[in-house]
Chains A and B, each alone.
Chain A
Amino acid sequence: MKPTDIAAPDYFHKVVDCQWACPAHTPVPEYIRLIAQGRYSDAYMINWKSNVFPGILGRTCDRPCEPACRRGRVEETPVAICRLKRVAADFKDDIRQRLPKPSPRNGKRIALVGGGPASLTVARDLAPLGYHCTVFDADPEAGGMMRSQIPKFRLPNSVIDEETGYILGLGVEFKGGHRIESMQALLAEKYDAIFVGSGAPRGRELEIPGRKEAAANIHIGIDWLSSVSFGHTDKIGKRVIVLGGGNTAMDCCRTARRLGGEDVKVIVRSGFEEMKASPWEKEDAIHEDIPILNFLVPVAFIHAGGKLTGITFQKVKAEYDAKGRRNLVPSGEPDQTFACDDVLVAVGQENAFPWIERDCGIEFDKWNMPKVDPKTFVSTNPKVFFGGDAAFGPKNIIWAVAQGHDAALSIHKMLSGEDINERPLPEVHVSSQKMGIHEWSYDNDISNDKRFKVPHRDKVIALKDIRAEVELGYDVKLALGEAERCLNCDVETVFSTSLCIECDACVDICPMDCITFTENGEEADLRQRLKAPSPRPDQDLYVSSDLKTGRVMVKDEDVCLHCGLCAERCPTGAWDMQKYFIEMTYAGSSCPTKSRSAA
């Protein structure tokens, strides 16, 4: 193998698994360290810069970081990254002084369609640069699906108000209750750029017999949730069936429990394990006495006298074909009917663009989705950009934020007369953490604690009040314990070949057997010859250039604890622990030149 180029910005970025997995590349270990130091406001601002909604995401994020967390490969559970984010939001001081100041207007006007996370992120990035941003939303207040679809017992309005408020306070104009009905008309208003962040606002229908006849008691999940959020709906029947296995279904069933539903069940087509809902959301639903029945496909709504009485299901089982694809086939067991008073249909969401005229220069593909460049988020109309669920279908808030940042960068570049396809490199800082012979500026003593549970409100009280937040969040002590579990994966082991005397001290001390000195070879062969097995080829090998004896140093990054013992036991300083901090490029950040390197 060739010596590893640690100067490439991506190399160490991949080692920080959580940050690499986060669509917005939030510097996770950096903010967790700040939390451990009690510097909550600093931790909050790091989050605010990269993911814009720390308080909201700290309660609702789909957490792509946690399955990636190295701690999960070393013991059973990853660090509770998401809930630590909430800690930063909960315990911060007033941070308004730290927000960007609205700068003098540059005369350029941006229209943002939809007031959800994608549009607000674009506004957050562009408003401080002097752009006049106008956000349009059909709802009276900003927040989009964060406000309308996520139940208040998971995300209180106060948090949404605060964090959308920070953005609107940057001089962003918000036009609530203003639905954009025509793209043609919007284009005619001669905005310098238009960003469409209107989400995926249509719940998928379930067209089975009885749908029309029993319509009064069949509700589309996201519409119903939104109606509950805005106070238009405040009760439901005693017996409720929720169809669907995603997070919306989990929100529906838990909301129904709070509006009078006593016998609430979730019924899904797939198996329990394959459900789309996040494991912790399923857990929370089950905790609230909501059974989840699987392998049942709805075949008909049963009704009598125009009133829904139940649903009939066909029992299925999963079969896998030669390619490993799953098919649900009838199991041959008799159909089952479950009685109910109301049904909530949460079987998926779709995009809907009836308001975009098909002749206004925005091309659509065969699935009726706008053609959007996945890097720049520009549509076929160079002034119109898409982001969030509106661009590539339903995903999560954090994806909308990441895409908002990228779209804002494109808009800024376009309006600065630059090529939007040229994406500036991120800025990378690498600095040694050595303070003394065996002293580091981070806590390298590895905590053996298991993941701390987030305290919950008492179930009886929680179920009585739809606005009572179920999760109470970590207190300071629990937060410190959980923060200590972080392995500081952004403090990198950096090896200097010329200093190494091949004494083996690092090999002997490494608790994870990560380091091997051996003859060089092809990667597949080298992976066979490591001191400990290398089960994850997606985790890089760090290979040195040739040493004096002709061997090379190979370090498997997979389960390195970043404890720094290799560097402590190294007599010549050939190993050093260096903190790697990567700053993604946002609209208006000064663009580093290509020659800038990581180390």
Chain B
Amino acid sequence: MTYIAKPKFHHPGLKKNELGYTHRDYEGKISTLCAGCGHDSITASIIEACYELSIEPHRVAKISGIGCSSKTPDYFLGNSHGFNSVHGRMPSVLTGANLANRNLIYLGVSGDGDSASIGFGQFAHSIRRGVNMTYIVENNGVYGLTKGQFSATADRGSKSKKGVTNTDNAIDLVAIALQLGATFVARSFSGDKSQLVPLIAAAIGHKGASFIDVISPCIAFNNHAGSTKSFDYVREHNDAVNRLDVLVGRDPIAVDYAPGTVQMVEQHDGSRIALRKIDADYDPHDRLGAMTFLQKHAAKGQIVTGLLYVDPDAEDLHEHLNTVETPLNTLEADTLCPGSAALDKFNASLR
């Protein structure tokens, strides 16, 4: 917690994006989380990704539940739409908002308690419905706001700050998301922005349910020896399958890649993802392979990160439901409510 506002001055040489904004223009209020919280790095990564994509802040709706993670939408995109919902209900609110106005970019921000415990069902259904959103879980393995009890994503055998060993099995949200049909699935680490920022940018460009599980050490309650979500542990066990660059619009590919090491993925919004393979055998288009890979490495104690699965041809909920293209709030009253004649006709068709 910091008592002064972040100074308005910025570096005089800051680059501006296509809209003429610097990355500072994508900030929100100053964070009230504990100093060093991994969530703040995720906040910074979201800011960076939105800046790089030249997103107009008013085109974003950021929706969250309850918890440390769910506070963070206050700290980025201060000029966007926001909804801080009930605990675990972010996916439902987001789904509703998305159905009403499909033209906004939906950022669902949640935590391991919000998504793997109280909102587990909500999480599951929004994923299986293919809501067009970027669902980010800021995963620290503990309930930080209530002083560090194990959450549902805490690994079995990991130790709490007080030395208690966790005896419950962990929920791997990435594995569940893959199983439930998410069309963009990634895992990353708050301490690795070079991986996280392009992942968020790519997820925003993906049309369909994008899910990113970000391991985010809780400095106050889960950054000790024996924790499997500490900075040291994640750095030691991080097994990145790939790194990526998001290429938007006219930007040429800045780096020369060795042939055969890069896989290009076309996105719905016209952007492209250049996937630099680290694990040569890893195929991010193979859902089954990804799930097996994940389980195998988890058994060895490794944390697989990177873009784990992507379906470039994904469909979203609106396509499944064949909804109207126009957002409901811009439809005229007579379209929204065509009158009793139309109702009679409709009722007749069901008789």
CA distance A535 to B231 in the complex (A): 34
Q: Give chain A residues whose Cβ lies under 8 Å from the Cβ of B30.
A: 509
Q: Give chain A residues whose Cβ lies under 8 Å from the Cβ of B40.
A: 504-505, 508-509, 569
CA distance A509 to B29 in the complex (A): 11
Answer whether residue B34 sits at the interface, using C-beta atoms and an 8 A cutoff.
Answer: yes
The proximity string for B residues 217-248 relative to A, scoring 1 for CB distances below 8 Å and 0 otherwise, is 10100010000000110010000000000000
Q: Give chain B residues whose Cβ lies under 8 Å from the Cβ of A73.
A: 12
Partner of B191, one of A502, A559, A563: A502
Q: Are the CB atoms of A563 and B7 closer together than 8 Å?
A: yes
Q: Give chain B residues whose Cβ lies under 8 Å from the Cβ of A444.
A: 4
Closest partner residue, chain A, to B3 (CB atom): A438
Q: Is the interface of B mostly helix, strand, loop or mixed?
A: loop
Interface residues in B113-144 by Cβ distance below 8 A to A read none
Q: Are the CB atoms of A511 and B24 closer together than 8 Å?
A: yes
Answer whether residue B250 sits at the interface, using C-beta atoms and an 8 A cutoff.
Answer: no
The proximity string for A residues 146-184 relative to B, scoring 1 for CB distances below 8 Å and 0 otherwise, is 000000000000000000000000000000000000000
Answer whether residue B346 sits at the interface, using C-beta atoms and an 8 A cutoff.
Answer: no
Partner of B9, one of A508, A512, A533: A512
The proximity string for B residues 67-99 relative to A, scoring 1 for CB distances below 8 Å and 0 otherwise, is 000000000000000000000000000000000
Q: Are the CB atoms of A509 and B11 closer together than 8 Å?
A: no
3 shortest interchain CB distances as A-B pairs: A571-B36, A533-B13, A446-B7
Answer whether residue A208 sits at the interface, using C-beta atoms and an 8 A cutoff.
Answer: no
Which among B14, B35, B41, B191 has the greatest number of chain A C-beta atoms within 10 A? Answer: B35
Q: Are the CB atoms of A503 and B217 closer together than 8 Å?
A: yes
Q: Are the CB atoms of A505 and B11 closer together than 8 Å?
A: no
Answer whether residue B300 sits at the interface, using C-beta atoms and an 8 A cutoff.
Answer: no
18 A-B pairs in the complex with CB atoms less than 8 angstroms apart: A75-B9, A445-B4, A448-B8, A448-B9, A502-B191, A505-B41, A508-B44, A509-B30, A511-B6, A511-B8, A512-B11, A549-B235, A559-B11, A559-B12, A561-B7, A565-B4, A571-B34, A571-B37
Q: How far is the CB of B101 from chain A (nearest CB, A)?
A: 31
Beyond contacts A504-B41, A511-B9, A514-B11: 12 other A-B pairs, Cβ-Cβ < 8 A, are A446-B4, A501-B36, A501-B232, A503-B41, A505-B36, A505-B37, A508-B40, A508-B43, A511-B8, A532-B13, A565-B2, A565-B4
Answer whether residue B10 sits at the interface, using C-beta atoms and an 8 A cutoff.
Answer: yes
The proximity string for B residues 1-35 relative to A, scoring 1 for CB distances below 8 Å and 0 otherwise, is 11111111111111100000000100000110011
Answer whether residue B284 sits at the interface, using C-beta atoms and an 8 A cutoff.
Answer: no
The proximity string for A residues 563-588 relative to B, scoring 1 for CB distances below 8 Å and 0 otherwise, is 10100111110000000000000000
Q: Are the CB atoms of A438 and B219 closer together than 8 Å?
A: no
CA distance A505 to B4 in the complex (A): 16
Answer whether residue A427 sits at the interface, using C-beta atoms and an 8 A cutoff.
Answer: no
Answer whether residue B198 sits at the interface, using C-beta atoms and an 8 A cutoff.
Answer: no
Q: Are the CB atoms of B35 and A571 closer together than 8 Å?
A: yes
Q: How far is the CB of A510 from chain B (nearest CB, A)?
A: 9
Q: Are the CB atoms of B6 and A565 closer together than 8 Å?
A: yes
Closest partner residue, chain B, to A518 (CB atom): B194
Q: How far is the CB of B142 from chain A (nearest CB, A)?
A: 15
Answer whether residue A74 sits at the interface, using C-beta atoms and an 8 A cutoff.
Answer: yes
Q: Give chain A residues whose Cβ lies under 8 Å from the Cβ of B9.
A: 74-75, 446, 448, 511-512, 559, 561
Answer whether residue A471 sits at the interface, using C-beta atoms and an 8 A cutoff.
Answer: no
Q: Give chain B residues whose Cβ lies under 8 Å from the Cβ of A533.
A: 11, 13, 15
